[in-house]
Amino acid sequence: MLSCLFTGTVVRAPEQRLDRRLRPIATAGLEVIDAEGATVLVSIIAFRPAAVEAIGRLQIGEDVAIAGHASLSRWKDGDGRQQMGLNVTVGRFLTAADAGMHHTPVERRQWRQSAPQGDSSG
């Protein structure tokens, strides 16, 4: 597994369930932009209680920073084409709210509408 640290936007709603040993786990999907500007879809899963709880509170459109261990996955789609993905087991993460930033889509939209032209902080 690869250690990773990246930022992304929640694009698949969090789901919580129990594993085979009846321990809670949480999953969600992120959209991450790579160095060349391409979108990469990342599946995240958490087993640690604090991370499970925090992931369960995420909303679609929310920005997060993730630290964990990544592994590549490969599969063939319905047309027989080879596809690749990234799976991350989350160790720690930070939401924009944790960093004191505008973190929900509504708050970001409100901030953008009220910000002076050319102001990109925030």
Taking the C-alpha atoms of residue 77 and residue 63, their distance in angstroms, rounded to an integer, is 28
pLDDT for residue 107: 62
Give the pLDDT of the chain (122 residues) as one tens digit per residue: 788 888 899 999 999 999 999 999 999 999 998 888 888 889 999 998 888 988 988 999 988 888 999 998 888 888 998 877 889 999 887 776 666 655 556 665 665 666 555 544 44
Name the superfamily (CATH) of residues 2-114.
Nucleic acid-binding proteins (2.40.50.140)
With tokens 């996955």, the residue in question is 73
pLDDT number for residue 42: 92
**For residues 49-68, b (16+ Cβ closer than 10 Å) or e, as one string?**
eebbebbeebeeebbbebeb
Please tell me the predicted confidence (pLDDT) of residue 9. 92
Q: Where are the domains of the chain?
A: 2-114
